Structure 1
């Protein structure tokens, strides 16, 4: 498989994950918390980098830089998912208070305050609204972000260099 194909596949996976997120929000009526929104943005960034890389068809160091970017955005996403998983593991008496919706915060607060509140998480972030095979949504995003970090490292260290010329 060529590096270009790998990047395009990552783009498709991110698009599918975002599609599932919007399905859960608009069809299943699961309201995303602030940390969920930030994880979506991380998948959007990974998808955008991957699509640009697939269209660019990078070789050499430019392909490695795209791999680094994929790994960095994935690490940010994993940190956000980890924060949400930590909030979900807290006893009820230690869960922070629920906050206003992201839309409301964006309407009334400066952008940096919204970002700070979102990263800290609210009581909404501690609620497990859906799970599959024992993992919450945050757990599944952590799995995907972890896989994408590993893939970013593989791309960074040039594992697909030789297959590009086949």
Structure 2
């Protein structure tokens, strides 16, 4: 895939990343509103990283910076994609645990935000609980967390391609 994108400028790659993320967040909204799927804490954290990637790629596209800033944008996109891969990987791991090893389900996120200190809220967002181990949706044998991992990997490859495609203007 990276070979195909070698013909694209970093600005075009940033636009492609933005369009991918927009589509993914649009499907997330569809799955919540139309399909009635409730996102767990790890799903919400993944959506947060998709938002960071989307905003950063859109700003990079609009800014159309010189080579150094273009690489900086792509480095941030890579870091956000790696963080998203870690979160979705954790959810995949939780989904693969035997039933007796799955952590207990915790209270809803709204309750955690209202009652617990900020550190506990962050822990809940990054570590997940038993709710994150449920698999309410699958496509081609992958759960939503599995597909999220794949899309974060695609974004990582695209952002690395943008770094290596950054050439000084001649």
Q: TM-score, normalised by structure 1?
A: 0.93
Does structure 1 conserve the Cα–Cα contact (< 8 Å) formed by 2:13 and 2:162? no
Q: Secondary structure at the match of 1:28?
A: coil
- Aligned Cα root-mean-square deviation (Å): 1.4
Counterpart selection for 1:106 from 100, 113, 118: 113
The residue aligned with 2:160 is 153
Structure 1 portions without partners, runs of 5+: none
Question: Equivalent residues in 2 for 1:12-161 (5 A)?
Answer: 12-157=19-164, 159-161=165-167
Q: How many angstroms apart in 1 are the aligned matches of 2:67 and 2:125?
A: 37
Q: Secondary structure at the match of 2:11?
A: helix
Q: Post-superposition, which runs of at least 4 consecutive aligned residues in structure 1 deviate over 3 A?
A: none
Structure 1 range deviating more: 35-44 or 117-126:
117-126
Structure 1 range deviating more: 21-30 or 102-111:
102-111
Q: TM-score, normalised by structure 2?
A: 0.90
Q: How many angstroms apart in 2 are the aligned matches of 1:81 and 1:74?
A: 10
Structure 1 range deviating more: 148-157 or 84-93:
148-157
Aligned length: 163
Deviation at 1:84, TM superposition (A): 0.2
The residue aligned with 2:3 is none
Q: How many angstroms apart in 1 are the aligned matches of 2:138 and 2:118?
A: 31
Does structure 2 conserve the Cα–Cα contact (< 8 Å) formed by 1:10 and 1:50? yes
Deviation at 1:151, TM superposition (A): 1.5
Does structure 1 conserve the Cα–Cα contact (< 8 Å) formed by 2:17 and 2:158? no
